[in-house]
Each structure stands twice: as structure tokens, then as C-alpha cells.
Chain A
């Protein structure tokens, strides 16, 4: 075994043994979008999803002492978020339990409240489609997380939020040509990152 191999092993060992450190100052920059996307694919209500993410951050802050550093910060936050989402659904269900009987079926508003009408629409998205979409969204956010902050910020604003070039330039104080260079780098990196699994 040569010296480089030994060094590599030592380095790898060092990396795996290193405990994850917690740093709440950067949470919002690093994980807000990821957690939000995770929530919205499961809750599908923007305001509610935003509240849940906010709750997650606050809960994480409170139980920071319990963070053992075995998993990464993100995994830890996701596990909190999962519980929050479950709680959210529990709450909804307990509200709905107070049985309502609706007899008149004439107005178009109440249409669709009946169980028979809730059977799957064959032309709607199938469960598999949605599942794949969830995974794809996670993969995209993973790749976004690997980009430098500036690039991912610009890329998100331009591609996902669909802002105009001038708006972004004003907000971030950069020139248009600067913006296009950043976009180009981000797109190349994203394409490389997604190539393995999704193209």
C-alpha cells in the first residue's frame, strides 16, 4: 500500500468520524427552499406549507441540545418537519370528524363532496407520476444545494420564480451580462448533476 492510499484512508476516516456541527444562523439560506418544496408536495397549500417550515425551524431551535450530530442538519430538520406534517393532517382530520350531513345536492359548490365522486379520475395524474415528481423535485433541490449560493439564488429567481432579468439585476445589484454568465454556469452544473439519474 502506497502512501497516497494511506493518506486517503486517513482522510476518509477523519471525515466520517467528524461530528456534524449545528449552525442555526444559516438554516434559512440553506434549507428553507428545500424544506418548503418537501412540504408543498405533501400539503399543497402555500401558506400552510410556509407556516410548517417556520414551525420546523423554531422547533429545531428549541431542541438544538438534542441534536447528537449523527445525521446531517438537513436530515434532522426533515425528521422534525415530517412530524409537523403528520400533526397537521391529524388536526384537519379531527376537525372533519364532526359529521356533517348535507342533503341538498343542487348547488354546484357542494359537488364533489360525496365519496362516490372522489374515485380517481383516470385522466388525472397517477400516483406513480406524483411520486416520481416528488423525487425529481428532491433531486433538483439536492443539485441546487450543491451550487454556490450566488448561482443557486440567481438560478432560482430566474428559472423557478420566473422573474424578469431587470428585476433580478436591480435586486442583487449585478449587470445583465453578469447575470447571464451566472445563469450559464448554473445551468451547466445543474445539467451535469441531473444527468446521471434524470435525463
Chain B
């Protein structure tokens, strides 16, 4: 066999599928994923669910605090905690 693989196992397909959700997959990976999706029903299902999850989260516009804000909050809070326990 040549060292170019056309078939990728399901685990790898899922991994690439996760990557595509964040636009981190390379072109080659995407082609291989789509080849895999042609014949694998389970992975097709997984990818459609995955895409739905991304869409839902995007639609919900959820917000999170980033790490810096949280750290600042934690510092203030710990100080207050000390005062209370003293």
C-alpha cells in the first residue's frame, strides 16, 4: 500500500469534525472527513449534531467572564472572606 490513506477510522473522523467546528482543520483533513462521511452513517449523525451544537451556542449569544476578570473578582472576594472569618 502507498502511504497515502484514503480511509480514516471513526475516531479520527470525529476528531477532525471537532476541529472543523472551530475552523482548525486543514484542507486535506476536510477532504478525508468528507470521504469518510460518505459511507459512515454514525459519523454523519455525529457531525450533524456537532454542527447543531455550534449553531445553538452561537444563537444563544452566551457570555462568559474571561480569566482576568475572574482573577480580579477572586482577589476581592478572598479579601472579603478573610475579613468575615476574622
A156 proximity list for chain B (CB < 8 A): 64
Q: Is the CB of B50 within 8 A of A161?
A: no
- C-beta contact mask, B55-68 vs A, less than 8 Å → 1, else 0? 01101111111110
Q: Is the CB of A54 within 8 A of B76?
A: yes
Q: Is the CB of B18 within 8 A of A160?
A: no
How many A-B pairs with Cβ below 8 Å? 92
B22 interface residue (CB < 8 Å to A): yes
- The one of A24, A64, A159 in contact with B57, judged by C-beta atoms closer than 8 angstroms, is A159
A40 proximity list for chain B (CB < 8 A): 63
A131 interface residue (CB < 8 Å to B): no
Interface size on A, residues (CB 8 A): 40
Q: Is the CB of A133 within 8 A of B64?
A: no
Which residue on B lies nearest to A25, using beta carbons? B81
- The one of A57, A62, A160, A199 in contact with B56, judged by C-beta atoms closer than 8 angstroms, is A199
Q: How far is the CB of A191 from chain B (nearest CB, A)?
A: 5
Known contacts A54-B76, A57-B73, A160-B57: does B62 contact A37 (CB below 8 Å)? yes
B34 proximity list for chain A (CB < 8 A): none
Q: Is the CB of B15 within 8 A of A180?
A: yes
* In the bound complex, CA of A50 to CA of B24 (Å): 31
A184 interface residue (CB < 8 Å to B): yes
Q: Is the CB of B63 within 8 A of A27?
A: no
Q: Is the CB of B84 within 8 A of A137?
A: no
* In the bound complex, CA of A32 to CA of B67 (Å): 11
A81 interface residue (CB < 8 Å to B): no
A sample of 13 more A-B contacts (CB under 8 A), given A37-B64, A180-B19, A191-B50, is A28-B73, A37-B63, A64-B84, A136-B60, A159-B22, A159-B57, A161-B66, A165-B22, A187-B53, A190-B53, A191-B49, A194-B53, A199-B56
| 17 examples of A-B residue contacts, CB within 8 angstroms | A32-B65, A36-B64, A36-B65, A50-B69, A58-B77, A133-B59, A137-B60, A137-B61, A140-B57, A140-B62, A160-B63, A165-B22, A180-B15, A187-B21, A190-B53, A191-B53, A199-B56
The 5 closest A-B pairs by CB, nearest first: A136-B60, A160-B64, A137-B62, A137-B60, A40-B63
- On A, residues with C-beta under 8 Å from B are 24-25, 27-28, 32-33, 36-37, 40, 46, 50, 53-54, 57-58, 61-62, 64, 133, 136-137, 140-141, 156, 158-161, 165, 171, 180, 183-184, 187, 190-191, 194-195, 198-199
